[in-house]
Amino acid sequence: MRLPPLPRRALLLVLWLAAVGITACKRDPAPTDAGTSGALAVTTAPATPRTLAQGVTVSGAVAAVEDMQLGVEVSGLRVTSLDVDVGQTVKRGQLLLTLDHRTLDADLAQAEAALREAEAGAALARSNLARGEQLAGGKYISAGQLDELRATRTQAEARLSTARAARDASALRRSFADLRAPAAGIISKRLVQPGQVVAAGTELLRLIRDGRLEWRAELPASQLALVGPGDLVRLHGRDGNDVTGRVRAVSPGVDADTRTGTVYADLPQPDGLQTGTYLEGRIESGNTQALAVPTAAVVLRDGFPCVFTVDAQGKAQQRRIETGSADGGWTEVRSGLKVGERVVVEGAGFLTDGDPVRAVAATHVSTTTMTPAEIAAAAAITPAEAAARVAEAAAAANDKAGKR
């Protein structure tokens, strides 16, 4: 069924969109025969062996290397002072918050008084024993009385040890009222407010130890085997700047459910990065010699990478391929092509299997200066077909970007 004619403005818009993807598609001024009059002009390039930077492009999350969850070890006390806020850099041992410690101070004072009492009792027992030993030497007291003095000294020293341990325990509990930074770092989260009554073990603050961040990416088993510790990682920051790092560790196996493993990359200078952000990065694992074609020649059809070759009759033949790494405008072809086979480069996104084409030399003519009549003549298709092919090419590009 033929589509109804489009309004003039809509027609011009569709034709202009078609011109964006047809960078070198022109009809010959004087076609030689009817078989080439409707052929689309394309450029071709051979599949050749090239040295490519081997790597994997994948997206992953930025996270803290060590995310320390900080809390207190006493319950039922009120927060009287909160000395830090989110984003603040702290030093090891710096005071972060203080609890109401009046009860703990009283317990500590009581324990210290009991310790002094025990010390006095132990000193008296030692003096009595010393005098008893002198008297026993002169036969002024019996051996049984001397034994009692020795037992009293031993009991007094035991009470002294108990009192000292109780004092140390009270001092330790008193120290729990002051939460101090266990390491230098950056406060990344605050879950407490002044005046709040807290419980032991509850997370109150979160600290990124030493401010160290890492990038974690999930890779399938086939790609995980290509990555190793020490490989260079380049992340594309949201501000347009690249951040470099090194792979610190690779998980030794893959998850049984997701069939993926995790790559951990240290980011020595994570300026501008934030934990929780999801960034695309490339893991570079050296160079490799591989068969490659221009990246512009690779298109997606039904979700699979394909290229178009031209047969002896001038017809485009769709060829499904398996791609590998991409570098510098070239894409590795692992299977589906042989060395020397020529593939369509310019115009590949507008082709379907069996379309008539003719190979021309590469050109840099700007299509933005072409008139609508020239665009229609170059495309040799109806406006509805042009719109359909533009939409198909845009969807394929979006699908390809999503799979990267």
Of 144, 177, 207, which one is at a domain's C-terminal end?
Answer: 207
The rounded Cα 353 to chain-centroid distance in angstroms is 40
Same domain, 292 and 271: no
Residue type, 141: I
Query: Do 357 and 39 touch, CB atoms closer than 8 A?
Result: yes
Same domain, 191 and 240: no
Q: How many CA atoms lie within 13 A of 354 on its CB side?
A: 0
The CATH number linked to 268 is 2.40.30.170
Give the closest residue to 378 by CA, choosing from 396, 362, 402, 358.
Answer: 358
The CATH number linked to 394 is 2.40.420.20
Q: How many domains does the chain have?
A: 3
Same domain, 299 and 283: no
If you search the block for the tokens 């930074």, which residue do you land on? 181
Q: From residue 348, how far is each of 45, 51, 176, 310 by CA, in Å?
A: 12, 24, 70, 11
Same domain, 224 and 198: no
Same domain, 161 and 217: no
Query: Do 160 and 122 touch, CB atoms closer than 8 A?
Result: yes
- β-pairing verdict for 330-335 and 89-90: unpaired
In 3-state terms, what secondary structure has residue 48?
strand
pTM: 0.60
Same domain, 237 and 201: no
Q: Is residue 1 part of a domain?
A: no
Same domain, 129 and 164: yes
Q: Is residue 193 part of a domain?
A: yes
The CATH number linked to 80 is 2.40.50.100
Give the burial string for 209-228 (b: 16+ CB within 10 Å, else e).
beeebbbebbbeeebbebbe
H helix intervals, 86-243: 102-137, 143-175, 221-224
Of 191, 207, 223, which one is at a domain's C-terminal end?
Answer: 207
In 3-state terms, what secondary structure has residue 24?
coil
Range of the domain at 250: 59-66+212-287
Give dist(CA 255, CA 381) in Å, integer: 50
Q: Please state the φ and ψ torsions of residue 219, each to the nearest 5 degrees.
A: -125, 145
Q: Is 272 left (phi over 0), alpha (psi -120 to 50) or beta?
A: left
Query: Do 79 and 191 touch, CB atoms closer than 8 A?
Result: no
Q: Is residue 315 part of a domain?
A: yes
Q: Is residue 390 part of a domain?
A: yes
Same domain, 139 and 47: no
Per-residue pLDDT of the chain (404 residues; tens, 9 = 90+): 444 444 443 443 344 444 444 443 444 444 444 445 578 889 999 999 998 887 888 999 999 999 999 999 999 999 999 999 999 999 999 999 999 999 999 999 999 999 999 999 999 999 999 999 999 888 888 889 989 999 999 999 999 999 999 999 999 999 999 999 999 999 999 999 999 999 999 999 999 999 999 999 999 988 888 899 999 999 987 777 888 999 999 999 898 899 999 999 999 887 778 888 999 998 988 788 889 999 999 999 988 999 999 988 889 999 999 988 777 889 989 899 999 999 999 988 888 898 999 888 765 433 333 344 434 444 444 555 555 555 555 565 555 445 54
Residue 286's pLDDT is 77
Q: Which residues are paired to 308 by β-bridges?
A: 318
Query: Do 214 and 64 touch, CB atoms closer than 8 A?
Result: yes
Same domain, 230 and 296: no
Same domain, 257 and 306: no
H helix intervals, 190-319: 221-224
Of 245, 260, 287, which one is at a domain's C-terminal end?
Answer: 287
Q: How many CA atoms lie within 13 A of 226 on its CB side?
A: 20
Give the burial string for 46-82 (b: 16+ CB within 10 Å, else e).
ebeeeebbbbbbbebebebeeebebebebeebebeeb
Same domain, 293 and 331: yes
Q: Which residues are paired to 343 by β-bridges?
A: 45
**Helices 143-175 + 102-137 axis angle, to 10:** 160
Q: Is residue 3 part of a domain?
A: no
Query: Do 39 and 358 touch, CB atoms closer than 8 A?
Result: yes
Q: Is residue 143 part of a domain?
A: yes
Q: Which residues are paired to 318 by β-bridges?
A: 308
Residue 262's pLDDT is 95
Q: Is residue 2 part of a domain?
A: no
Q: Is residue 273 part of a domain?
A: yes
Same domain, 76 and 176: yes
Give the burial string for 341-380 (b: 16+ CB within 10 Å, else e).
bbbbbbbbbbbeeebbbeebeeeeeebeebebeebbebbb
